[in-house]
Amino acid sequence: MIQVAVMGHGVVGSGVTEILLKNSAEIAKRVQDEIYIKKVLDLREFPDSPIADRFTKDFSEIEDDEDIKIVVEVMGGVEPAYTFVKSCLLKGKSVVTSNKELVAQKGAELLKIAKERNLNFLFEASVGGGIPIIRPLNQCLAANNVEEIDGILNGTTNFILTKMIKDSMSFEDALKLAQDLGYAERNPAADVEGHDACRKICILASMIFGKHVYPKGVHTEGITKVTLDDVGYAEAWGGVIKLIGSVKQNNGKHQILVAPMFVPAISQLSSVDDVFNAILVKGDSTGEVVFYGKGAGKLPTASAVVADVMDCVTNIDRRRNIFWEDSSNETIMPFEDTAYSMYVRVFAVNKAEACVNVSNLFGECNAIEKDNTPENEFAFVTPVMKYSDFEKACKSLEKEGCKILSTIRIADF
């Protein structure tokens, strides 16, 4: 019998205990051992739980219990999760977490402690919820040089964008609906500002580079500025707007950012709607591989956590080969040096004159025409240009009397 503790009894945590209890016989058959939940840590009361007697509010009951070999952390947030997880590892317990913030902020340090003590620190559920991605990516990496990852990594923003695209809802109305449906928090900043997606692309980037990529150094734009006009121009251009986390190797540097992008209809990512996530991995041998599924939710995420727990049980005395070193983001390409083709929407009193200025400043651009364009508005797509050059050109255009209403990157995958 293997004894485990679950820290946190929220949405994911209650799913973990539910699966471990409900499927205990099948799980025991698969791992050839019984998994017993010894303790559940939560500050709240759950008198109706079938294992109500095993709840505790005192972390030391887990930390100091030498019989507990595996600890599940599903509390979320950096603290106190970080302190608790570190303590558990230092006490010789393997840890499974779904906490992307923890892994994105403290992954290198926790992986190092786990490695030194021959323990497992697993986090399949931290990216893509129930979509297997961390382990397959590790497998892709085995015989491949992974050159690029582009992903729709946040279900909430994808739901909002889908409602804007399919139902012409405004951002505000779509956000409200997402909140009403429980997809978005009352304070939706982490989702709509792109921070959640940023944590996830940082975890994937850390894996493929073997060096920790910290969110702090990663350019992150959310979807709060995306308007229905932009959605319409994207459609006229031949695609949709998606919030993309992207990382790629570029001349020895690592290019990484999170931003809304025009994604062409031909891309596998363009048809990923609602709360679904999808992650496109490009390897030099495998070519393009896409993983698609629900990126969040109680049971999908909990099942990924339980699969990691089972992996810990069958590998109780050996460490999975998932590791990256610490770093100071020194290989990250400065954001100003990244280069994309850009969509630009402009207000101009004199459109003809403005178009001439656009050609002079941005080079040869392609106009996008859509129905119901306001009289003094037009939109175009620039050639691929360095962001610093693009910004300069934008400033110059505004000096010429135009007002830039929107700028959005064109996906290059």
Residues that bind its own copies (CB under 8 A): 15, 19, 23, 26-27, 30-31, 124, 130-132, 135-136, 139-145, 268, 271, 283-294, 297, 299-300, 302-307, 310-311, 314, 321
Work out the number of other CB atoms within 10 angstroms of the CB of residue 79: 11
Judged by CB, which is closer to its own copies: 51, or 141?
A: 141
Minimal distance, residue 130 CB to its own copies, in Å = 4
Backbone φ and ψ for 371, nearest 5 degrees, come out as -65, 155
Q: Do the Cβ atoms of 262 and 411 come closer than 8 Å?
A: yes
Minimal distance, residue 229 CB to its own copies, in Å = 27
Residue 220: helix, strand or coil by DSSP? strand
Question: What does the longest C-alpha to C-alpha distance in the chain come to?
Answer: 77
Is 256 exposed, middle or buried, given 0-12, 13-18 or 19+ CB atoms closer than 10 A?
A: buried
- In 3D space, the residue among 1, 26, 92 whose CA is nearest the CA of residue 306 turns out to be 26
200 is catalytic: yes
Minimal distance, residue 182 CB to its own copies, in Å = 16
List 38, 106, 163, 200, catalytic entry: 200
Judged by CB, which is closer to its own copies: 130, or 260?
A: 130
Judged by CB, which is closer to its own copies: 99, or 270?
A: 270
Minimal distance, residue 299 CB to its own copies, in Å = 4
Backbone φ and ψ for 187, nearest 5 degrees, come out as -100, 100
Judged by CB, which is closer to its own copies: 139, or 170?
A: 139
Q: Do the Cβ atoms of 376 and 348 come closer than 8 Å?
A: yes
d(CA 255, CA 264): 21
Cα 402 to Cα 94, 379, 386, 395, 405, distances in angstroms: 58, 12, 21, 9, 9
Tell me the two tokens of residue 294.
């629900």
Judged by CB, which is closer to its own copies: 5, or 358?
A: 5
Work out the number of other CB atoms within 10 angstroms of the CB of residue 29: 10
Is 406 exposed, middle or buried, given 0-12, 13-18 or 19+ CB atoms closer than 10 A?
A: middle
Q: Do the Cβ atoms of 304 and 125 come closer than 8 Å?
A: yes
Minimal distance, residue 39 CB to its own copies, in Å = 20
Judged by CB, which is closer to its own copies: 276, or 390?
A: 276
Q: Do the Cβ atoms of 387 and 335 come closer than 8 Å?
A: yes
User: Where in the sequence numbering do the catalytic residues fall?
Assistant: 200
